[in-house]
Amino acid sequence: MKNKKLLLVVGAIGLFLIGSFIKDNKEMEEKERNDLPVIGVLQFVSHRALDDIYQGMIDQLKKEGYEDGKTAKIVFQNGQADQSKLTSMSQHLINEKADILVGIATPSAQALANQTSDIPIILGAISDPKSAGLVEDNNKPGGNITGVSDQSPVEAQLELVNSLLPNKKKMGILYSSAEDNSSSQVKKVKEQAEGQGYQVTEYAVPSTNEISQMMQVLAREVDFLYIPTDNTMANAMQTIVDVANQYKLPVIPSVDTMVEQGGLATVGINQYELGVQTGKMVAEVLKGNSVPATTPIYTFETGDIIINQKQAEFLGISIDKEIRDKAIIKGGE
């Protein structure tokens, strides 16, 4: 009888001890999680290129010692191309106590910049940070923002157009009038192309809804179509290619991923590598090795030649051996 009582008491104490041990452990884990650096990421929309950038950044961050759920807390928000969501998503990331913010694509970087001038913001592949109003100077950003620019290698792109489509001089440019990143690039392409004797027509659309109809119009007016690094167009690449193919209209986009999706060719920057560089810059700031104000925007100067073999065959375009040897061939090989 006595023994039974003793056993009960000992058992109860044991349970109590185990219980409080588990509780302590949980509290410690909770505390550790709360101490992890918080990285808030705002991506404008899901399209192949931006998804590649995001992945490159995540992989690099892991290498640098920032792995989600273990050594860092990565909070991800995706605006799904809806500009009106970007403000509240930026506020959400700040409420999550982000130590650093990443804006993937210009509209999301602008939304983040509107919400804070203290928390460091790293730009994930922004076409022109200065003309988007994000930094004072690409070499001396001056504020809480720095990052990676994916300025298109326009000169090399025009050189490629010249050799692939030697007799085609009527160039159409299709872009979204809502994206600041496109307007600066369009201006640059237009200037350079006109300087080389091209006749350039701009086709700006307010949203995705007008693309198909605009394509029907422009396909009858131009010899080939150029597309800048425009998020709305990247997102609608399938629609663009469908109409272009009806008219056998060559499409020259600005990035590898859009060539893979049915563009003819381009000279473009590898999107995954843009993300890797973004990840490196995030880590440098988190480690306290650099601050945005004095960290120049990192610009990729050169790109790879990418050719879609299937599209070239479909359009009846032959590619010189000299170019083919230098190029990355996608589709059909």
| Closer of 115 and 271 to ligand TRP (Cβ) | 271
Dihedral (Cα; 143, 148, 151, 156), 10-degree rounding = 140
| Closer of 98 and 297 to ligand TRP (Cβ) | 297
Give the residue, chosen from 93, 105, 145, 215, that forms a contact with ligand TRP under the rule CB under 6 A: 105
Rule CB under 6 A: say whether 267 interacts with ligand TRP. no
Rule CB under 6 A: say whether 255 interacts with ligand TRP. yes
Rule CB under 6 A: say whether 229 interacts with ligand TRP. yes
Closest CA to 174 of 212, 226, 217, 220: 226
> Which of these segments, 13-21, 34-42, 206-214, 224-232, binds ligand TRP (CB under 6 A)?
224-232
Shortest CB 156 distance to ligand TRP, Å: 16
| Closer of 234 and 305 to ligand TRP (Cβ) | 234
| Closer of 115 and 231 to ligand TRP (Cβ) | 231
Rule CB under 6 A: say whether 276 interacts with ligand TRP. no
Q: How far apart are CA 319 and CA 66, in angstroms?
A: 44
Closest CA to 53 of 253, 281, 247: 281
Q: How far apart are CA 24 and CA 118, in angstroms?
A: 35
> Which of these segments, 60-68, 125-133, 289-297, 323-331, binds ligand TRP (CB under 6 A)?
125-133
Give the residue, chosen from 78, 231, 261, 270, that forms a contact with ligand TRP under the rule CB under 6 A: 231
Shortest CB 118 distance to ligand TRP, Å: 23
Rule CB under 6 A: say whether 273 interacts with ligand TRP. no
| Closer of 211 and 319 to ligand TRP (Cβ) | 211
Binding mask 32-71 for ligand TRP (x = CB under 6 A): -----------------x----------------------
Shortest CB 329 distance to ligand TRP, Å: 20
81 contacts 235 by C-beta, under 8 angstroms: yes
Rule CB under 6 A: say whether 277 interacts with ligand TRP. no
Return the ∠ at Cα 260 (arms to 315 and 55), rounded to 5°.
170
Rule CB under 6 A: say whether 125 interacts with ligand TRP. yes
Collapsing DSSP to helix, strand or coil, 252 comes out as strand
Shortest CB 50 distance to ligand TRP, Å: 6
What are the beta bridge partners of residue 308? 330
CB atoms within 10 A of CB 280: 17
Query: 255 is written with which tokens?
Result: 């990035």
CB atoms within 10 A of CB 247: 14
CB atoms within 10 A of CB 96: 13
Give the residue, chosen from 134, 174, 183, 230, that forms a contact with ligand TRP under the rule CB under 6 A: 230
Amino acid letter for position 97 = K
CA pseudo-torsion sign 149, 152, 153, 154: negative
The number of residues that bind ligand TRP (CB under 6 A) is 14
Return the ∠ at Cα 64 (arms to 55 and 46), rounded to 5°.
15
Rule CB under 6 A: say whether 181 interacts with ligand TRP. yes
> Which of these segments, 134-142, 228-236, 275-283, 298-306, binds ligand TRP (CB under 6 A)?
228-236
143 contacts 215 by C-beta, under 8 angstroms: no
- CA 167 → CA 85, 160, 182, 301, 316, distances in Å? 45, 13, 26, 28, 14
| Closer of 151 and 311 to ligand TRP (Cβ) | 151
Interface positions with ligand TRP (CB under 6 A) = 49, 105-106, 125-127, 150, 181, 229-231, 234, 255, 271
